[in-house]
A and B are shown apart, each in its own frame.
With several copies, the nearest count.
Chain A
Amino acid sequence: MTQASDTMAPAAQTRTVRLVYFAWVRERVGRAEEQVELPAEVATVLDLVRWLKARDEGYAAAFADETLVRAAINQTHVKPGTSLDGAREIAFFPPMTGG
């Protein structure tokens, strides 16, 4: 994690990312989007979920079932273990019900 993996990410130990939430994840979190500074130890999607859950009850409720909420990085589906390197926009949402 010492390499700067993306030109958009600062070389420092924290990174600013945009978080966006949809459907009941958005409702439980209480907002549609926010900017956050990620500490260096938050390396994967699952790290971020656990870091958010510790913030307050809304996040804790949204991510109560860590395996249920889906995530996307820069508008592409990712798995809980995916690295946040290069992430500018991270989205969390329930399983899709379109179509």
Chain B
Amino acid sequence: MTPTIRIQREDFDLAAEIATLSGGRRDIGAVVSFTGLCRDEGGTLAALELEHYPGMAEAEIARVAEEAAARWPLLGLLAIHRFGRVAPGEQIVLVIATSAHRRAAFEAADFMMDYLKTRAPFWKREHLADGTTGGWVEAKGEDDDAARRWE
């Protein structure tokens, strides 16, 4: 099982990615997907701008995916993370894990997201609805706590 990792400016299509992962297989019992979307923060946000570290972003997510693959009996694993400007309601990140059984698929997808949040070199900056550029989004301690659940 080789994880699929993509860092891209373009949007992605969950159904097409699941179809690619599952296509023709009859041994998959469970597919868990996580899609992260840009929220409008009560109407105050016009867009998020996602900066990333090209090269390291792919490498780091691939390392996280390898850890997940070593830890759970997965049949497929995919992570896509967008960069650039993303408007409220738009998709930012996608993780899909497939396995024979549901527990492995749930835990692997959950683990991938916790580690993506704390280890993948991406930074979000806010563009506000009033036309001004807001600040850089601050990292949350609860994300570090979430990642530590897997240690």
Contact = CB atoms under 8 A, between A and B. Distances in A.
B56 A98 contact: no
A98 B52 CA distance: 9
A72 B52 CA distance: 13
B53 A91 contact: yes
Contact of B116 (A76, A95, A98): A98
Contacts of A97: 117, 122-124, 136-139
A94 B139 contact: yes
B50 A23 contact: no
Contacts, number: 74
A23 B136 contact: yes
B107 interface: no
B62 to A, nearest CB: 11
A5 B83 CA distance: 36
Q: What class of interface size applies to chain A in its complex with B?
A: 10 to 19
Interface string B46-77: 00001111011001100000000000000000
B121 interface: yes
Q: What class of interface size applies to chain B in its complex with A?
A: 20 to 34
A12 interface: no
B53 A75 contact: yes
Interface string B3-41: 000000000000000000000000000000000100000
B116 A99 contact: yes
Given A96-B118, A99-B117, A75 B93 contact: no
B136 A98 contact: no
A96 B139 contact: yes
Interface string B121-140: 11111000000000011110
